[in-house]
Amino acid sequence: MDSENKEFTDLLEAIRFVYGYDFTDYSEASVKRRINSFMANRKITTVEMLRDMILKDEKLFEVFIQEISVTVTEMFRDPTFYKSLQNQVLKRLATYPFIKIWIAGCATGEEVYSIAILLEEAGLLDRSIIYATDINQKSLQVAKEGMYPLANMKQYTTNYQKAGGKKSFSEYYIAKYDSVLFDKSLKKNIVFAAHNLAIDKSFNEFQLILCRNVLIYFNQKLQNNVINLFYESLCPFGFLGLGNKESLLYAEKKKNFEDVDRNEKIFMKTE
Amino acid sequence: MNILSDKAFKAIVIGTSAGGLSALSTLLEKLPPSYHLPIIIVQHRAKDQKSLLEEVLQPKCKIKIKQADEKEKIEKGVVYIAPPDYHLLIENDLTFSLSCDELVSYSRPSIDVLFESAALAYRETLIGIILTGASNDGFTNHKKIRRTDHSPVTC
């Protein structure tokens, strides 16, 4: 291991030891990129210097953690995924008297509102509860508010229509200045909470878990642990939806899931 | 000695704009299936454009062309293309990682993101090529590769 990598590993170990946040099993290239950009923005020249600074200054660490764990998403990202959920999964969910859904790594909540809209249009929202979790408190705050830039609505409307949306998308929000606020009724059954997939345990049993474009940030070991966590958190015949480029390829539990839609990465727990 | 056949190098990264298809095709058509380096490509493209670059290029080329998969091990004699709407990064163990981070120079995939992580993973054994391009993407990290002491090729 060369010295730059050692400094980097030392930093992540120190953060784990002092603050309890574990990034040691994250995909290194992505974490490095974010740490480098954090350093460049503050003119911090070496990783060692950064380590000393954040170990001494808890406030700076808070800023650091928010910045390196932030993820971006959009409403109805990959419309065909939502279409498949609607066609293959919702009718099965409808057979339960009460539907529990976990959106793990919900970032700023765009996906949470997309799912709420999907459930609303299927007449299922009233008897559903959605647990939306993320490691990043700032992102969760944005998610709770449900306020997004007006400029994104054009793309989201296109996505919504491609996903098979039944109404006019603008019925779900009110626009003011350059922002839109999503309808309060959408979030009446959503619980937003902090959850760290790298260290926290299962907290309920669900019929559907969505975790899209989160596993790509983890190494194979952590991906496997997280799939195990999802396995434990799903009811028999519960559904799991992953991101477009993610798979169960490296998971020990691979054989305990079957494909519901291979292209859209929707799986069902079978045993 | 031609840089592209020099045994001191371990990989080639190529960045190109949306209009770089013919330049890319001219370059890749000439390569034998047993070419001694992996080639990793980011091409800017419209987000919802589903026609895949690898499907367009493969019939014209003898070398194997595929989309880079999450955590896939990088092998020589294969041309890897970044999937649409994801950044493509290279890990130190020479596997791929994908990311949905924000756009860089208005692009995802971004040439800069690939070049920066490739420069860290391959150090002085990397060749970086910018084929065509009107934006700044690729400029920052092209300089980084140059700094590790060899000549980037710009066509």
Q: Residues A166, A62: one domain? A: no
A·B CB contacts under 8 A: 54
| B30-84 pLDDT tens trace | 999 999 999 999 998 766 665 688 888 999 999 999 999 999 999 999 999 999 9
Domain boundary among A34, A68, A102: A68
Q: How far apart are CA A46 and CA A57, in angstroms?
A: 17
Domain final residue, candidates A19, A49, A68? A68
Residues A87 and A173 in one domain: yes
* Residue A38 and residue A98 in one domain: no
Query: Which residue among B92, B99, B120 sits closest to A216, beta carbon to beta carbon?
Result: B99
B124 touches chain A (CB under 8 A): no
Q: How many CB atoms lie within 10 A of CB A37?
A: 14
- Distance (Å) from the alpha carbon of A2 to chain B's nearest alpha carbon: 11
Same domain, A224 and A152: yes
Q: Could you tell me the residue ranges of all domains in chain B?
A: 3-154
- Of the residues B47, B70, B87, the best mutation for testing chain A's interface (the one with the most A CB atoms within 10 Å of its CB) is B70
The answer to whether position A73 is within a domain reads no
From A42, A68, A94, give the residue that closes a domain.
A68
Give me the tens of pLDDT residue by residue for chain A, a chain 271 residues long. Answer: 577 789 999 999 999 999 999 999 999 999 999 999 999 999 999 999 999 999 999 999 999 998 998 888 999 999 999 999 999 999 999 999 999 999 999 999 999 999 999 999 999 999 999 999 999 999 999 999 999 999 999 999 999 999 999 999 999 999 999 999 999 999 999 999 999 999 999 999 999 999 999 999 999 999 999 999 999 999 999 999 999 999 998 899 999 999 999 999 999 999 7
Pair A92, A60 in one domain: no
| pTM of this prediction exceeds 0.90 | yes
Helices (H), chain A: 3-19, 28-41, 47-56, 58-68, 79-84, 90-93, 110-121, 137-145, 153-162, 220-233
Q: Which residues of B touch A243 (CB under 8 A)?
A: 100
Whether A169 and A258 map to the same domain: the answer is yes
By residue count, chain A amounts to 271
The verdict on A19 and A90 lying in the same domain is no
d(C-alpha B147, C-alpha B151), whole Å: 9
Q: Which domain holds residue A14?
A: 3-68
Locate A106 and state its tokens.
Answer: 């919900």
B3-154: which CATH topology? Rossmann fold (3.40.50)
Q: For chain A, how long is the longest CA-to-CA vector?
A: 58
Is residue A74 domain-resident? no
Do A28 and A98 belong together in one domain?
no
**Domain CATH for A124:** 3.40.50.150
Count of domains in chain A? 2
